[in-house]
């Protein structure tokens, strides 16, 4: 059963005092397999306990523990954002929750949604990205994580940006994020989506929701 948005927000906010340090570790399949338990643990205390039980005897425990906590934080925030979309009458949830190409459909257009912080690697400021969305979206597809969810299908990017640079903290502000999602859905028009041709014969539709605080 999906926890309520207020309960998820409460759990996510406990992460804010812990910090968000990847120890320079890039995403990889080996670390993902070792920390897959984060998908089944909705509470902060629970994921701390599971990390201790499952990872503490491994030589790179501090890095793995941070990897697990950060991955847990990202996953449950993204799952909450997905629930915000699916609460709308315009949105139909995916039947298969393991479908890496679709989380939901808006007015019949299927999307995989990805919530992420504004990428430092883009090397351009926020204003540039907002005025050149096609270039920004192309960069996101080109530089997306190399894990199991990599694909060139339709995507809806929710991009978080905080003026103080601590973009990651916005993942826990679900009440505010819900208002951003509602604003987007209220004015959604499939004709305004950006279309790309990343693969021959397979057009890609994409858009960005700018969650800026």
Domain boundaries along the sequence of the chain? 5-212
Distance CA 66, CA 76 (A): 15
**Treating both helix axes as pointing N-terminal to C-terminal, what angle do 5-13 and 61-86 enclose, rounded to 10 degrees?**
150
What Rg value do the Cα atoms of the chain yield, rounded? 17
Residue positions counted in the chain? 213
Q: Look up the pTM and report it.
A: 0.91
Sorting pLDDT into bands at 50, 70 and 90, what band is 130? Answer: very high
Report the pLDDT averaged over residues 104-127.
Answer: 95
Helix or strand (DSSP H, E) at 70: helix 61-86
Pick from 78-82, 88-92, 93-97: least confident:
93-97
- Give the pLDDT score at 149: 59
Q: What is the pLDDT of residues 40-58, one digit of tens each?
A: 999 999 999 999 999 999 9
Report the pLDDT averaged over residues 199-208.
Answer: 90
Statement: residue 145 has pLDDT above 70: no
Q: Contact, 195 vs 153, CB < 8 A?
A: no
- Give the pLDDT score at 57: 96
Report the pLDDT averaged over residues 200-204.
Answer: 86
Statement: residue 151 has pLDDT above 90: no
Distance CA 182, CA 84 (A): 8
Sorting pLDDT into bands at 50, 70 and 90, what band is 99? Answer: low
The chain-wide mean pLDDT, for the chain, equals: 92
Distance CA 155, CA 207 (A): 7
Residue 49 has which token pair?
């306990």
Sorting pLDDT into bands at 50, 70 and 90, what band is 147? Answer: low
Distance CA 166, CA 182 (A): 24
Which residues does residue 210 pair with via DSSP β-bridges, in sequence order?
Answer: 159
């Amino acid at each position: 059963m999906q926890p309520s948005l207020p309960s998820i927000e409460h759990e996510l906010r406990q992460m804010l005092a812990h910090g968000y340090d990847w120890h320079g570790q890039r995403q990889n399949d080996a670390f993902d397999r070792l920390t897959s338990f984060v998908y089944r643990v909705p509470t902060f205390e629970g994921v701390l306990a599971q990390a201790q039980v499952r990872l503490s005897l491994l030589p790179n425990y501090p890095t793995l523990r941070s990897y697990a906590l950060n991955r847990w934080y990202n996953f449950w925030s993204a799952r909450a954002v997905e629930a915000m979309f699916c609460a709308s009458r315009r949105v139909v949830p995916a039947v298969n929750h393991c479908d890496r190409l679709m989380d939901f459909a808006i007015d019949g257009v299927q999307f995989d949604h990805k919530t992420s912080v504004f990428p430092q690697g883009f090397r351009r400021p926020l204003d540039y990205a907002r005025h050149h969305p096609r270039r920004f979206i192309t960069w996101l597809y080109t530089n997306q994580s190399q894990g199991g969810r990599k694909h060139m299908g339709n995507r809806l990017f929710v991009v978080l940006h905080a003026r103080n640079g601590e973009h990651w903290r916005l993942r826990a502000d679900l009440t505010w994020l819900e208002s951003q999602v509602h604003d987007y859905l209220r004015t959604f028009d499939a004709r305004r989506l950006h279309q790309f041709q990343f693969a021959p014969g397979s057009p890609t539709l994409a858009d960005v929701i700018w969650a800026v605080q």
